[in-house]
Amino acid sequence: MPRKNSKQANDLATIHDQKLHRGKGGELHQFAEDGHDVLTTAQGAPVDDDQNTLRVGARGPALIEDFHFREKIFHFDHERIPERVVHARGYGAHGFFETYEPLARYTKADFLQRAGEKTPAFVRFSTVAGSKGSVDLARDVRGFAVKLYTREGNWDLVGNNIPVFFIQDAIKFPDVIHAVKPEPDRGFPQAQSAHDNFWDFISLTPESMHMVMWVMSDGAIPRSFRFMEGFGVHTFRFVNAKDESTFVKFHWKPKLGLQSVVWNEAVKINGADPDFHRRDLWQAIQSGNFPEWELCVQLFDEDFADSFDFDVLDPTKIVPEEILPVQPIGRLVLDRMPENFFAETEQVAFMTQNVPPGIGFSNDPLLQGRNFSYLDTQLKRLGSTNFTHLPINAPKCPFHTFQQDGHMAMRNPAGRVNYQPNSWGEGPRESPVSGYRHFPSDEAGQKVRLRPESFADHYSQARQFFISQTPPEQRHIAMALTFELSKVETPAIRERMVSHLLNIDETLADKVASALGLAKMPKPADAAVGPRQDLKPSPALSIMENGPKRFEGRKLGILVTDGSDAALVQAVASAIEGEKGAVELIAPKVGGVTLSDGTLLPAQQMIDGAPSVLYDAVALLPGTDFVPALLKEATVRDFVADAFAHCKFIGYVAAALPLFEKAGVEDMDEGMVELDGSKAVNAFVGKLGKLRFWAREPATKLQ
């Protein structure tokens, strides 16, 4: 008989040491000798060895009898589900919505009837074009999808951080998405619009011009999900108890103000921390700094709609806030991360058609098409009509349907009745009183495939957006267009785009044409209607005009070394904490530094892992003796050069001056503050509320 090897002997000892307990229901609980639960198969059989497959002898072939191995690999092989066809990369969090005031005058939606009422929420932010594993700082629209679990069913407001869309009719959605995704023959570029197919489609689609202005603006490279707006985009309806309808547009406004990064920074963040936005949300929520948005509405009636310059059903148009002010009706707070990314963030299914009584649709042709698409896509992605049984998707109010069976049915009806009407006196009944009633709008007309003429002005609001931007933001739009079109290999596409820009703003077109080195200016594109209207600028459309008042929620990176001035490091850190900002210490070694007073201060980052692009502002506080060593470090040079080029506020000690020289910074400016005392620290922290020193930018650019 073969001798037991020592491993087998140990295993037997382990099994004998296991304590067996019976649970309340009489089920057998097995605990390993160290108190952990015993590993089992999915069928509940305890596993003795999870390190070795079952084989004939130590060096022999594997046995098919090894049901544990077979089940483990089988399950692993099937772990992935199809990623979302758009918005594949996303990040979610739980929270709540709190109603400010009863809104009964406009809507009978139950969750909007009582001041102070809290409704559970789940939100998923996303990029559109990139696949699940792509980077966070792609130039792209950000999804802003909100699910409110109301007492009358789920309300999904599946919005974006941009209030308009590329197309006016849902039938064009596959085309715009195909055009932006990797080109089908070569399979690249990933998560980028800077390629021929995208600009070919766009330049042939004048209705996309307004959206293109937004996507080329800083709004497409947000600093954080926490600092961006959200929009329902379409015109929806509120319907009150008297069945009166009011049109409504939804806006989410972040409490911490708006903020974006610059493109050169975005490109570098993608390398340094591809999960920049995820990490930011995770860190904020885990540290108790719960991000918050106000839900604001623009309410209007048919008369306003008729008198407005554009069609309120056209999703490529906004109603400027200066014409129709936004009114806050509640707040959304995100205060809890999912326990499991897959179960919640990946499996959450948002659908525009999820509306409670009191909220309805308009005839916006994009919205109408979306209402078809979202249900369909969930079946593909989640594999079963029973995706509503998943806890993240199930309503949190009671729900009763006669739907049954299907793959993975987890909520199975008890009893005999699975239809109605029935005479058994059991089961749910429809209710004409409390049931969802679609707004009985008058609709008549011929069956046609026709775009309304009222949708035809594609340039006026594109121009309005552009002229509403501050000079640095306008510069960024010109640079973004130049960058994107410089990646387009076909000159005719570049020219076609410039011909549209001529209809939006001549100086913008000139700048882009000259930066691209266009041989001659093309003719302006033919417009479906003309002339372009000269609309008033709308300051609400500028990120820089709507920034924060203080450094709250932002992060300062402090570069320290051995010998850094202990009192100064402490003073800067406390001043930032006083502003509700965060501080990260960056040192040559992550183990930390010994400060001037001999205290050992652990660092959060090592220089190589923390380029300045990861911070909103930086302070260079090295010890004098360590500066020569820092001068040799390429990463330190980049740290300083990038902070300067990205117009960040920079605090510094006199000993750090050679670092500027090494980084090629010739002129000191008002965005750089020597921290030579507590007054200077306060002055520096006071400036940080502005986030960037944009006056520096022209000096750092070619154009």
Set 154, 160, 386, 393: catalytic member: 160
User: CB of residue 107 vs ligand HDD: minimum separation in angstroms?
Assistant: 21
- Tell me the helices (H) and strands (E) count for the chain, helix number first: 18, 20
Nearer of residues 17 and 376 to ligand HDD, judged by Cβ: 376
Nearer of residues 124 and 268 to ligand HDD, judged by Cβ: 124
Phi, psi of 448 (to 5 degrees): -145, 160
Task: Give residue for tokens 């070394």.
Answer: 561
User: CB of residue 274 vs ligand HDD: minimum separation in angstroms?
Assistant: 19
Nearer of residues 53 and 377 to ligand HDD, judged by Cβ: 377
User: CB of residue 299 vs ligand HDD: minimum separation in angstroms?
Assistant: 20
User: CB of residue 392 vs ligand HDD: minimum separation in angstroms?
Assistant: 11
In 222-364, alpha helices (H): 263-272, 276-286, 302-307
User: CB of residue 127 vs ligand HDD: minimum separation in angstroms?
Assistant: 10
> Alpha carbon 608 to chain centroid distance?
27
Residue 119 near residue 149 (C-beta atoms within 8 A): yes
- Is there a binding annotation on residue 494? no
What is the three-class DSSP state of 176?
helix
Phi, psi of 657 (to 5 degrees): -55, -40
Active site residue 36: no
Q: What is the DSSP letter of 156?
A: E
Nearer of residues 140 and 642 to ligand HDD, judged by Cβ: 140
Angle at CA 575, nearest 5°, toward 573 and 576? 65
296 forms beta bridges with 251, 328
- Is there a binding annotation on residue 411? no
Set 87, 234, 458, 476: catalytic member: 87
- Is there a binding annotation on residue 279? no
What is the three-class DSSP state of 435?
coil
- Is there a binding annotation on residue 173? yes
Active site residue 160: yes
Helix, strand, coil distribution of the chain in percent, nearest 5:
35, 15, 50
Residue with the CB atom nearest ligand HDD in the bound state:
143
User: CB of residue 155 vs ligand HDD: minimum separation in angstroms?
Assistant: 14
| Interior/surface letters 547-560, b for 16+ CB within 10 angstroms, e for the rest | bbebbbbbbbbbbb
Binding site for ligand HDD (CB under 6 A): 84-87, 90, 124, 126, 143, 145, 158-160, 165, 170, 173, 233, 315, 348-350, 366, 369-370, 373-374, 377
Q: Give the 3-state DSSP-derived string for 290-306, with helices as H, strands as E and coil as C.
A: CCEEEEEEEEECHHHHH
Q: Is 25 exposed, middle or buried (0-12, 13-18, 19+ CB in 10 A)?
A: exposed
Catalytic residues: 87, 160
Residues at the binding site are: 84, 124, 173, 370, 374, 381
Residues at the binding site for heme are: 84, 124, 173, 370, 374, 381
